Homo-oligomer: A and B are copies of this chain.
Amino acid sequence: MASLRLPLLAAVLAFMAGEALAAGSAAAGQTFLWLAIILLLARLSALVERVGIPAVLGELLMGVVLGNLGLAGIGFFEHVADDPTIAVFAELGVVILLFQIGLETTIAELARVGLRALAVAIIGVVVPFVLGTFVVGPWLLPGLSFNAYLFLGATLCATSVGITGRVFRDAGQLDSAEARVVLGAAVIDDVLGLVVLAVVTGFVQSGTVSPGEVGQIVLEAFAFLAGAIVIGRAAAPYLVRLLRGVSDSVATKLTLLLSVGLGLAWLAHAIGLAPIIGAFAAGVLLEPIFLREFEAPEIVRELEPLVRRLPPAEAEKAGHALERYRERHHEHLLEPLGHFLVPVFFVFTGMQVNLAAMADPVILAVAAGVTVAAIAGKLVAGLAAGSADRWAVGWGMVPRGEVGLIFASVGKQLGVVDDALFSVIVCMVILTTLVTPPILDRLIARRAAAGGGG
């Protein structure tokens, strides 16, 4: 059988390959190939997790490799990095990601974490921003525009909720005082960072730095966030009622999620903010209470009456599992979209990295200096952690992750961040994200061994 099968396969394959090479390329068909390759390679890049590197870095590095295959004489992927349709898919990916982060964040959580988290967040934004804009930028990168230093400072403000939370979760320490302070601060940091990004973007677009304009931009950013949340929360019940009038199906629930997320992403864009700010606000304003208006997933409806007949302890356990599944069903619905589109963003972002520019030893040295400032700025913030372990909180704030990359790509789109500075920022993001997991892991273990508390 095998002896017959192989030559047949080879013949059909040769025929198909010949036809494939002979045929030209057209828009949609070509896009499908690129998306398939990006998805496959992004997933293979997750192998880096085996050596403790977050998957997001693997995707980024895969993008760096693909985007620089030209150096090895392979030009295929250079078209991808410039393709406007792939760019829209990538941007949709980061909108979905920030929407997901917003959905995992509630206003109640933001309020509950209290003053300690707020203090850590504010110091963790102000110190790195000042260090980047007024110290490290002009000192290590002389001759760039003030706008470029502003963007470097903004990038240093970022904290990646995803990476931070994941390290604590992998260590089984999500309930520790350190985790709560870091996660609370990281969430506030996200909002502050988005405001900083809006302010910096506004500066760059208006060209000057007058206090009136700063005030207007801050007001605009807050007005948008507050307005979107206030109007959104007031309007959400009506939109839910309208859609519930059609049906209470899964399709309707997903439509509610996507139309609010994409609608506010557009609105943010339309008033001059980044679409991701709107997507984040949309996620925050969509409370689970609105989503409970829709029918429970089929598996929950089938099993709920059955598990009631279990012995009390098991019945409670199963009931909790089903309730949690139902409660988080909207996140399950968005996950496939995230798995599909988010890697496109990170690979696409990695593709924008110019390795030729990064090969410069001067740039590498500058990146090392910027990274030291990036770490120092966040460790200072850890001092406001009160009774929690200050080192663990400080290191917990260090990874810049996707948020830093988003800032850098906004700066690149605006023409403020050039290839060299972009490479420096990517190096810094890679280094802060790389060094943190092992160090934080050790600090958490030490604290847990000492009996926790806080």
Binding site for B on A (CB under 8 A): 5, 8-9, 12-13, 15-16, 19-20, 23, 25-33, 35-37, 39-40, 42-44, 46-47, 49, 84-85, 87-88, 91-92, 95, 220, 223-224, 226-227, 230-231, 234, 242-243, 245-247, 250-252, 254-255, 258-263, 265-267, 269-272, 275, 298-299, 302-303, 306-307, 309-311, 314, 317-318, 321-322, 325, 333-337, 339-340
- Residue contacts A-B, CB under 8 angstroms, 14 given: A8-B230, A13-B227, A23-B272, A29-B270, A32-B262, A32-B266, A36-B261, A42-B255, A43-B255, A299-B321, A302-B318, A307-B310, A310-B310, A337-B340
In the docked arrangement, what's the CA distance between A25 and B301, Å? Answer: 45
Assess the A272–B19 pair: CB atoms within 8 A: yes
Assess the B36–A259 pair: CB atoms within 8 A: yes
In the docked arrangement, what's the CA distance between A307 and B47, Å? Answer: 35
Who on chain B is nearest to A11 by CB?
A: B227
Who on chain B is nearest to A47 by CB?
A: B246
- A29, A35, A44, A299 interface centre (most CB from chain B within 10 Å): A29
- Given the complex, which residues of B lie within 8 Å of A220, measured CB to CB? 19
Assess the B255–A28 pair: CB atoms within 8 A: no
Assess the A29–B255 pair: CB atoms within 8 A: no
* A307-B311 CB under 8 A given contacts A254-B339, A269-B32, A339-B255: no
Picked from B19, B262, B263, B270, the residue with its CB within 8 Å of the CB of A23 is B270
- Given the complex, which residues of B lie within 8 Å of A226, measured CB to CB? 12
In the docked arrangement, what's the CA distance between A298 and B325, Å? Answer: 9
* A317-B306 CB under 8 A given contacts A85-B85, A336-B254: yes
* A265-B16 CB under 8 A given contacts A310-B310, A336-B333: no
A-side binding surface: helix, strand, loop or mixed? helix
- Given the complex, which residues of B lie within 8 Å of A267, measured CB to CB? 16, 20
Assess the B9–A230 pair: CB atoms within 8 A: yes
In the docked arrangement, what's the CA distance between A162 and B36, Å? Answer: 26
Assess the A336–B339 pair: CB atoms within 8 A: no
- Given the complex, which residues of B lie within 8 Å of A243, measured CB to CB? 43-44
Picked from B49, B91, B339, the residue with its CB within 8 Å of the CB of A28 is B91
* A88-B16 CB under 8 A given contacts A26-B269, A271-B23: no
Taking A25-B270, A32-B95, A337-B340 as known contacts, 17 extra A-B pairs with beta carbons closer than 8 A to each other, sorted by chain A number, are A9-B234, A12-B223, A16-B227, A16-B231, A16-B271, A27-B88, A36-B258, A36-B260, A36-B262, A37-B259, A40-B255, A43-B251, A47-B246, A85-B85, A303-B321, A306-B321, A337-B337
- Given the complex, which residues of B lie within 8 Å of A29, measured CB to CB? 265-266, 269-270, 275
Least Cβ–Cβ distance between A271 and chain B, in angstroms: 4
- Given the complex, which residues of B lie within 8 Å of A307, measured CB to CB? 303, 306-307, 310, 318
In the docked arrangement, what's the CA distance between A333 and B250, Å? Answer: 12
